[in-house]
């Protein structure tokens, strides 16, 4: 990623802000010419912007990047305040057999049961619960009111937002001759790899006999449901309220829109893109890196749009 | 709203009930002639009903209103028991810098961090968490197990049901050259104005650089997702499991059905009505006060129904 | 259910496992010939399998059943470890008027308010909240961070997973002349009968004036929403993220897929099957034991598939 800095010899930057709210010391982001004009009228001390701003001149600092949004995200992450609180709150219940690393924050009301471990630099938010045998790696951030069940392992730098339930019992029943439902064993684990980030109030089931796995760097939005035995690939992105049924696999770098529903034993291959509200049938395999699919059942976007247009045309014709 | 009371000089009303369960002292609601017949056989002391009941006679009280359901709702709200408990539970953790108003109830297990404020007459349910710098106005009701993040402001008479997450980190990532995702700063706030009511287990993200705003009187059902920078207009109504992506705007008085999905930067203008499961594409503007839209992509109900009929007809014809 | 056991005179079984992870003492499940081959190479002490394995011979035990998956589920349930912890955690807040049965586990941080009752052998997970007047039967399992509102009754052997909200205020508003919304009374109760199992982060509203009822043996997956006055029939199965609007009824043994949306006052009759993402309009009655319906509005699967095929054909033809 290329970026050049132009302006005064040294500039003190203390935070990031929107253009509308920026004060001296702030870094702001100007995505286009119009935003740049606004940014030049604000009090920010530095502007992250694109090549198009090359000619601009000013007494403040310019960061001119060929991918300015990424540059801004990276600089903002360096500037973001670090949680410096640490220690175990008096009202937390930490089992004597639990291993708590250095510089860990265990907030009030947290319950940590037997044989748990929480790695160096991690924090567990108020009133969250770690059942027995949960392993949390280093520098993880667990929000408030999170429930983590036995058999769950989080590697490093995992972020779990408030209200999530990790390692819940999956929805696997067997019907008997009278039509009653008996739970199939749900005793597999849940593995969440490095740098996974999970939005608020998500539910991720443990495996039934195998393991549910969320691979490195995958990002889940709020209220996402992940069923038992699912595997979500590295750097996959899954928007809010999407549901993934049992034993399905989402490939590396796949991008799944909001409210998508994926049936059981389906496979979304590497880099496939599913538009919002799409539906994927049980057992279906969808492939195509960079291919956009939409609708229920999900089909190539171009085909789907043509179908919508055809239907609209026939419907209007039918009226005449 | 016109309403007349007919019957004995004075009647003591102590509560509301269904017709089936009413006892002496209860007020019941009879929406139509059939329900009125049933109501006249029950033990209720008073009946709220419509003009059609004009001729009815009885030794009990009749409230005859031209909008009886509204009259009943209003009378019920006057009769509903008021939370009279107040005080701070011993097991609550309230930071010394927090400002707690008069007649406030802070339930057991609540965590209130630095610089928070809770206004007069408000209550915070058991095990809820207010991160540092949260401001709660007067007469708000926060349910149990709610998580409210820093940067969130609630004005007066806001109701937040159990399990909600307010001010969570939004889902805004920038992809780098290796396909990894970096969080764009999510440091804006969340403002919830007067008389907003939010159902159970909703998630409402803070703004990224700007603010997420829910305007006065808006009502959200359970499990609704609101992304960063969204603005929801006054008196808008949003049914369960609907998701609104980042930077979209919902106009005043709009009515959004259940499981609707709204893309990013979309605009639903004042008074527009979206049927359940509708989908709105990124950047789309939908207008029309009182106009009903349905389907994905959302289109006028009439057109959509015609399309469904056309497809059904063509499909049947195709078989012959 | 027929099953025969073949093999050594006595075999000690201590748990269940996947074929991949099985050790001595474990019981495994082999659904088909291929899995059976794998199972025969693993260290499990016993294999539950079907009639097709009749000829197999080995020094280990075989359970040959005509419904092997059900046999495995039942045996696994007998083998599953029983919660033997009991007692009331010091940090739990239990009102003096609450009735707590024998062998009950009340975990840390739990709040149990006035006049609650918790039956023999039940457990309430960490940081869960039971408002005043909640009744929990025998051998119920309430997960962590669950919120149960006043007016909720659970019968026996009910399982409620983490983060659920039971008995929340329903979404019933009446609009006044100025377009503002007034809550219609939501004072009915919630009854959950024997052996109901509810997934993580579900929300189930109390009735408005009547009662919301979940009948014996019904199973709900994660993030399901149930509105006020709904009745869900015995042994009904409802997959993740489905929403059922107010006053609808789901018949005995109905099977509802994931992300299905059901309007108000609708009726899904006994044994009807609704495919994932289906939508049912307000007031609609759907019947047909064993009939599969799909789409929005939900129609017979055969018709819907034919419509999809017709549209695809016409769209392709239109291009030429």
- Among chain A residues, CA nearest to B299: A312
Radius of gyration in angstroms for the set of CA atoms belonging to chain C, rounded to a whole number: 24
Taking the CA atoms of residue C141, residue C146, residue C149 and residue C154 in that order, the dihedral angle to the nearest 10 degrees is: -10
The confidence score (pLDDT) of residue B1 equals 54
DSSP letters, A153-206, are EE-TT-EE-TT-EEEEPP--EEE-TTS-EEEPP---EEEE-TT-EE-TT-EEEP
CA C231 to chain centroid:
15
The confidence score (pLDDT) of residue A92 equals 98
Burial class of residue C80 in the structure, from the number of CB atoms within 10 Å of its CB (0-12 exposed, 13-18 middle, 19+ buried): middle
Residue B129: in which H helix or E strand, if any?
strand B129-130
The confidence score (pLDDT) of residue A283 equals 97
Cα–Cα distance measured from residue B55 to residue B297, given in angstroms and rounded to the nearest whole number? 50
Q: Is residue A173 pLDDT above 90, yes or no?
A: yes
B161 and C176 within 8 Å at the Cβ level: the answer is no
| Contact residues on chain C for B145, CB-CB shorter than 8 A | 127, 129, 145-147, 163, 165
B209 and A18 within 8 Å at the Cβ level: the answer is yes
Q: Best interface-test mutation with B: which of A203, A277, A279, A304 has the largest number of B CBs within 10 A?
A: A277
The confidence score (pLDDT) of residue C317 equals 85
The stretch B191-210 carries a mean pLDDT of: 97
* Chains A–C, number of C-beta pairs less than 8 Å apart: 172
Cα–Cα distance measured from residue B280 to residue B282, given in angstroms and rounded to the nearest whole number? 7
β-pairing verdict for C105-106 and B279-280 = unpaired
Burial C281-309 (b: 16+ CB within 10 A, else e): bbebebeeeeebbbbbebbebebbebbbe
Instruction: Please name the member of A70, A163, A241 whose beta carbon is closest to the beta carbon of B163.
Output: A163
Instruction: Please name the member of C16, C18, C161 whose beta carbon is closest to the beta carbon of A168.
Output: C161
C179 and B235 within 8 Å at the Cβ level: the answer is yes
Nearest to B220 by CA among B205, B241, B248: B241
Strand partners, C274: C256, C293
Instruction: Please name the member of A89, A197, A315 whose beta carbon is closest to the beta carbon of B307.
Output: A315
Instruction: Work out whether the CA dihedral B246, B252, B255, B258 comes out positive or negative.
Output: positive
The confidence score (pLDDT) of residue C319 equals 56
Nearest to C222 by CA among A244, A111, B242: A244
C185 and B72 within 8 Å at the Cβ level: the answer is yes
Instruction: Work out whether the CA dihedral A15, A21, A25, A30 comes out positive or negative.
Output: positive
How does pLDDT run across C119-177, given as a tens digit for each residue?
A: 999 999 999 999 999 999 999 999 999 999 999 999 999 999 999 999 999 999 999 99
How does pLDDT run across A104-153, given as a tens digit for each residue?
A: 999 999 999 999 999 999 999 999 999 999 999 999 999 999 999 999 99
Neighbours of chain A (3+ CB pairs under 8 A): B, C
CA distance B197 to chain A (A): 19
The confidence score (pLDDT) of residue C90 equals 96
Nearest to A161 by CA among C202, B144, B224, B170: B170
**How many Cα atoms within 13 Å fall on the side-chain side of residue A166?**
35
Cα–Cα distance measured from residue A41 to residue A206, given in angstroms and rounded to the nearest whole number? 53
Yes or no: say if B184 and B172 are a contact pair by the CB < 8 Å rule: yes
Cα–Cα distance measured from residue C64 to residue C54, given in angstroms and rounded to the nearest whole number? 7
β-pairing verdict for A267-268 and A249-250 = parallel
Nearest to B163 by CA among C163, A128, C159, A143: C163
Q: Which two tokens stand for residue C151?
A: 């007016």
Strand partners, A88: A106
Q: Is residue B174 pLDDT above 80, yes or no?
A: yes
Max Cα separation, chain B?
A: 80
Cα–Cα distance measured from residue B258 to residue B278, given in angstroms and rounded to the nearest whole number? 9
Percent of chain B with pLDDT over 90: 88
Count the Cβ atoms, other than its own, within 10 Å of residue A34: 9
**Positions of B marked active-site:** 228
C18-22: long-range pairs with CB below 8 Å, 24+: C18/A188, C18/A209, C18/A210, C19/A209, C19/C44, C20/A210, C21/A209
pLDDT category at C118 given cuts 50, 70, 90 is very high
CA distance B177 to chain C (A): 35
Radius of gyration in angstroms for the set of CA atoms belonging to chain B, rounded to a whole number: 24
Nearest to B278 by CA among C277, A244, C246: C277
Q: Which two tokens stand for residue B145?
A: 């197990």
Cα–Cα distance measured from residue B73 to residue B68, given in angstroms and rounded to the nearest whole number? 9
The confidence score (pLDDT) of residue A319 equals 56
Instruction: Please name the member of A76, A126, A311 whose beta carbon is closest to the beta carbon of B111.
Output: A126
pLDDT category at B199 given cuts 50, 70, 90 is very high
Cα–Cα distance measured from residue C220 to residue C226, given in angstroms and rounded to the nearest whole number? 10
DSSP letters, C104-121, are -EE-TT-EE-TT-EE-TT
Neighbours of chain C (3+ CB pairs under 8 A): A, B
Cα–Cα distance measured from residue B249 to residue B228, given in angstroms and rounded to the nearest whole number? 11
B245 and A240 within 8 Å at the Cβ level: the answer is yes
Cα–Cα distance measured from residue B169 to residue B153, given in angstroms and rounded to the nearest whole number? 15
Q: Is residue A83 pLDDT above 70, yes or no?
A: yes
CA distance A269 to chain C (A): 21
Q: Flag the least confident range among A19-33, A55-69, A291-305, B142-156.
A: A55-69
Yes or no: say if C152 and C190 are a contact pair by the CB < 8 Å rule: yes
C247-253: long-range pairs with CB below 8 Å, 24+: C248/C280, C252/C215, C253/A179, C253/C289
- Among chain A residues, CA nearest to B91: A91
β-pairing verdict for B152-154 and C249-250 = unpaired
pLDDT category at A253 given cuts 50, 70, 90 is very high
Burial class of residue B51 in the structure, from the number of CB atoms within 10 Å of its CB (0-12 exposed, 13-18 middle, 19+ buried): exposed
Token pair 């860990």 is found at A104
φ/ψ (deg, to 5) at A76:
-60, -40
Nearest to C154 by CA among C144, C166, C169, C146: C166
B168 and A18 within 8 Å at the Cβ level: the answer is no
Q: What is the mean pLDDT of chain A?
A: 95
Q: Flag the least confident range among A49-63, C110-124, C221-235.
A: A49-63
Cα–Cα distance measured from residue A185 to residue C76, given in angstroms and rounded to the nearest whole number? 6
How does pLDDT run across C169-189, given as a tens digit for each residue?
A: 999 999 999 999 999 999 999
Q: Is residue C284 pLDDT above 60, yes or no?
A: yes
Q: Best interface-test mutation with A: which of C276, C297, C310, C312 has the largest number of A CBs within 10 A?
A: C276
CA distance C291 to chain A (A): 16
Instruction: Please name the member of C16, C127, C237 whose beta carbon is closest to the beta carbon of A185.
Output: C16
Cα–Cα distance measured from residue A29 to residue B188, given in angstroms and rounded to the nearest whole number? 14
Nearest to C68 by CA among C79, C54, C82: C54
- Among chain A residues, CA nearest to C219: A181
φ/ψ (deg, to 5) at B310:
-60, -45
Cα–Cα distance measured from residue A177 to residue C65, given in angstroms and rounded to the nearest whole number? 14
Q: Best interface-test mutation with B: which of A3, A16, A18 has the largest number of B CBs within 10 A?
A: A18
Cα–Cα distance measured from residue B19 to residue B36, given in angstroms and rounded to the nearest whole number? 9
Q: Where are the alpha helices (DSSP H) in chain B?
A: 33-41, 68-79, 301-319
φ/ψ (deg, to 5) at A303:
-60, -40
| Whole-prediction pTM | 0.97
Cα–Cα distance measured from residue B164 to residue A95, given in angstroms and rounded to the nearest whole number? 28
How does pLDDT run across B35-91, given as a tens digit for each residue?
A: 999 999 999 999 999 988 887 777 889 999 999 999 999 999 988 877 789 999 999
Burial class of residue A85 in the structure, from the number of CB atoms within 10 Å of its CB (0-12 exposed, 13-18 middle, 19+ buried): exposed
The confidence score (pLDDT) of residue C79 equals 87
Taking the CA atoms of residue A227, residue A229, residue A232 and residue A237 in that order, the dihedral angle to the nearest 10 degrees is: 0
β-pairing verdict for B141-142 and B159-160 = parallel
pLDDT category at B8 given cuts 50, 70, 90 is confident
The confidence score (pLDDT) of residue C214 equals 98
Q: Is residue B254 pLDDT above 80, yes or no?
A: yes
CA distance A30 to chain B (A): 12
Cα–Cα distance measured from residue C317 to residue C320, given in angstroms and rounded to the nearest whole number? 6
Q: Is residue A77 pLDDT above 60, yes or no?
A: yes
**Positions of A marked active-site:** 228
Q: Best interface-test mutation with A: which of B307, B309, B312, B318 has the largest number of A CBs within 10 A?
A: B307
Q: Flag the least confident range among A50-54, B264-268, C62-66, C213-217.
A: A50-54
ipTM, two decimals, is 0.96
C261 and B253 within 8 Å at the Cβ level: the answer is no
C258 and A261 within 8 Å at the Cβ level: the answer is yes
Yes or no: say if A63 and A4 are a contact pair by the CB < 8 Å rule: yes
Token pair 């997420």 is found at B212
Cα end-to-end span (Å), chain B: 58
Domains of chain A, start order? 3-79 (3.40.1390.10), 149-301 (2.160.10.10)
Nearest to A81 by CA among B133, B254, C281, C178: B133
CA distance A48 to chain B (A): 13
Nearest to B149 by CA among A162, C280, C19: A162
């Amino acid at each position: 990623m290329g970026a050049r800095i132009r302006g005064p010899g040294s500039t003190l930057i203390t935070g990031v802000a929107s253009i509308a709210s920026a004060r001296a010391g702030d870094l702001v982001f100007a995505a286009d010419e119009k935003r740049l004009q606004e940014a030049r009228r604000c009090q920010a001390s530095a502007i992250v912007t694109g090549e198009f701003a090359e000619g601009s001149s000013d007494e403040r600092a310019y960061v001119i990047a060929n991918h300015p949004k990424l540059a801004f995200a990276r600089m903002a992450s360096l500037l973001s305040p670090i949680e410096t609180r640490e220690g175990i709150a008096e009202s937390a219940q930490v089992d004597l057999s639990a291993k708590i690393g250095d510089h860990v924050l265990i907030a009030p009301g947290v319950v940590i049961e037997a044989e748990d471990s929480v790695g160096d630099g991690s924090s567990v938010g108020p009133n969250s619960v770690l059942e027995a045998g949960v392993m949390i790696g280093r520098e993880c951030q667990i929000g408030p009111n999170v429930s983590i069940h036995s058999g769950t392992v989080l590697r490093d730098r995992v972020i779990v937002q408030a209200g999530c339930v990790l390692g819940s019992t999956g929805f696997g029943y067997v019907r008997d001759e009278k039509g009653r439902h008996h739970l199939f064993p749900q005793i597999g684990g849940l593995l969440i790899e490095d740098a996974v980030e999970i939005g608020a109030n998500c539910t991720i089931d443990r495996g039934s006999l195998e393991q549910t796995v969320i691979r490195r760097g995958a990002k889940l939005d709020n209220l996402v449901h992940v069923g038992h035995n699912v595997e979500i690939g590295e750097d996959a992105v899954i928007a809010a309220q999407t549901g993934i049924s049992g034993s399905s696999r989402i490939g590396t770098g796949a991008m799944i829109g909001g409210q998508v529903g994926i049936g059981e034993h389906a496979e979304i291959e590497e880099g496939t893109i599913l538009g919002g509200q799409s539906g994927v049938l049980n057992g279906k395999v969808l492939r195509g890196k960079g291919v956009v699919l939409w609708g229920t059942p999900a089909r190539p976007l171009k085909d789907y749009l043509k179908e919508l247009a055809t239907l609209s045309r026939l419907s209007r014709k039918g009226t005449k």
